[in-house]
Structure 1
C-alpha cells in the first residue's frame, strides 16, 4: 500500500480544522493560515519521503505563500533541492531558514549535512559545531558523529576520535561511531580497544565491507583462524566487487 492516500487524508484533516461555521474564509484568520501552512508542509514532506520531489515543491510553495517566514517550509525546500542536485537553491533555502531562526538545531544539522555532501568540510564542521552546543537537542549524539565524520574528511584523526567518543557518551549503541573508533584504534596499533569497539559494533549492526575487512584483520591478529575464514567468506559472498574485498585478496 502506498502512502499517497494517507497524505491526502492528513492534508484534508488539517485543512478541515481551518473551517469554521458560517461563511468566514478560514484563510482570512491567523489560525486558519497557520493550520493550512502546516498542512501544506506536511504534505510536501510526505511527497519528499516518497521521493516525489517535483510534487513536494507544490505544497511547500503554497506554504511559503501563506507564510514567507516559515522556517519549516524553507528547510523542507532545502532538502528537496538537495535531493534534486540543485545546490545553490538548497543552500539558499537552508540559509533563509537559519536567518529566520538561528536556534533551530535540526535545520542547522541538516544544513551541515548538505555542506558535507558538497565537500564543503570547514563550513560543515562549523554548522555541526554550532548544533552541538544545543544541550537539549534530542539527536545530539548524531551531531557529534557528524563532527567526527567531517574531521576525518579534514584528516584530523585525533579530533575525529574525540567527537566519536563524545557521540558514544550520549548513545553507546551508535554503529558508525563504534566502527570508526575501531578503525582508528586499529590504525594506531591499539588492537585490544579496536576489538572491543568492533565487537560492540557487531552487536548493534549488520556487517558491511569495511567492518568485515577489519574483523578479518583483528581475527588474524588474535589468532582466531575460524573467525577470519568465516568473515572472509561473508566478504566474498556479500561484497565481491568492493575495494575491501580486493584488499582482502591481496593480504592472503
Structure 2
C-alpha cells in the first residue's frame, strides 16, 4: 500500500511508526460523513483565486477519501498544502485520510492541529470526538460532542447529539443520555440508532411502554439486530404480550442463532418457552 505523504510544511517532525489497524465497520462510521467543502471558510491572506483553488483541492480530496482512493486524495492534499499549509481544513482532511487508513494515532495528531488552527471548527470536533469514542476514551469524546452538538448551524448536529447520548449513557447519566437522543431524533427523525438507544435507556429506567414505543419506531426505520430483538423479547415478557414475545424470540433465534443475546434467551426463558413470566432480574 502506498502511504500518503504530507507536504513538508505540515508533516510531523518525528513521525511515529504506523499501526496496521483495521478500519471499524459499524453504525458509528456510517455517521462520519465527510462533509465536502461546505465547511471550508475563507482564509486571510489568500487571493480569491487561491481561495477557490484551495476549496476545490480540499473538496476533491474529501471525495477521494470517501471513495477510499488514497493516492488521488493525497495528490490533491499536497496541492492544497502548497496554497495554505497551515489551514485547519487541510489538517482535518489529512486526519480523515489517516483515519481511513486505520492510523488513529496520526489521525489524532492532525485533528489536534486542525483545532489548534481553528478552535471553533465544529466538524473537526465531531470527527475527533468520534475517534475518541471508538478508542474508548468516552470522557474526551463527550467534551468534543458537547461542542459539536452546540453548533446550531452544523449539519452533523443530530449525529453529534446521538454520540453525546452514548457518552452520557456510558458515563452513568441516563437522564442526560435520553435527553440527547430525544433531541437528536427531533432534528433528524430518520436517525434510527437513536431510537434504539433511547429504548435501552427507558428499559433500564423500567419505563416499559415508552421503551417499546421507541423500539418499534426503530424497527420501522432499520433492520433488526440481535440487541434490538433481545430488548423486544424482554419488553414483551414484562408487558405480558405473548404474540410479540413469540415473534421476537423466533426472529432472534433464526437470524442470530449464535449471538450472546440468543444464549441469554435460552438461559432466561428456555429454548421453546411460550409462557411469559416477568423477570425480577432486568438486564
TM-score where L is the length of structure 2: 0.72
* Equivalent residue for 2:137, pick from 108, 120, 125: 120
1:16-47, Cα deviation, whole Å (9 max, x unpaired): xxxxxxxxxxxxx9344333333332332222
Report 1:10-159 matches (<5 A). 30-159=47-176
Instruction: Report the equivalent of 1:180.
Output: 197
Q: CA deviation at 1:69?
A: 2.7
Mean CA deviation greater in 233-242 or 118-127: 233-242
Match of 1:244 in 2: 261
Structure with higher helix content = 1
1:172 and 1:40, CA in 2 relative to 1: closer, same or farther beyond 3 A?
closer
Q: Any unmatched runs of 5+ in structure 1?
A: 1-28
Asked if residue 232 in structure 1 is aligned to residue 270 in structure 2, the reply is: no
Segments of structure 2 that go 5 or more residues without pairing to the other structure are 1-45, 271-283
Inter-partner Cα distance in structure 1 for 2:244 and 2:62: 45
2:208 is aligned with 1:191: yes
TM-score by structure 1 length?
0.80
Which deviates the most, 182-191 or 166-175? 166-175
1:166 aligns with 2:183: yes
Distance in 1 (CA, whole Å) between partners of 2:170 and 2:82 is 39
Residue 151 of structure 1, CA deviation: 1.6
Distance 1:56 1:183 in 2: 40
Give, in whole Å, the separation in 2 of the partners of 1:98 and 1:222. Answer: 49
More relative contact order in 1 or in 2 (CA 8 Å, sep 6+)? 2
Structure-1 residue corresponding to 2:238? 221
Deviations 1:161-214 (A, max 9, x none): 222223233334432221111111112221111111112222222211111111
Tell me, in whole angstroms, the C-alpha distance in 2 between the residues paired with 1:129 and 1:81: 24
1:203-249, Cα deviation, whole Å (9 max, x unpaired): 22221111111112222223332322222222223222322122122
C-alpha separation in 1, matches of 2:60 and 2:148: 27
Displacement after TM superposition at 1:55 (Å): 4.2
- Following the alignment from structure 1 to structure 2, what is the Cα–Cα distance between the partners of residues 138 and 184? 26
Q: 1:46 to 1:136 in 2, by over 3 A?
A: closer
- Superposed CA RMSD in Å reads 2.1
Pairwise CA distance, 1:121: 1.6
Counterpart Cα distance in 1 of 2:238 and 2:170? 28
Distance change in 2, residues 1:50/1:135 (3 Å): closer
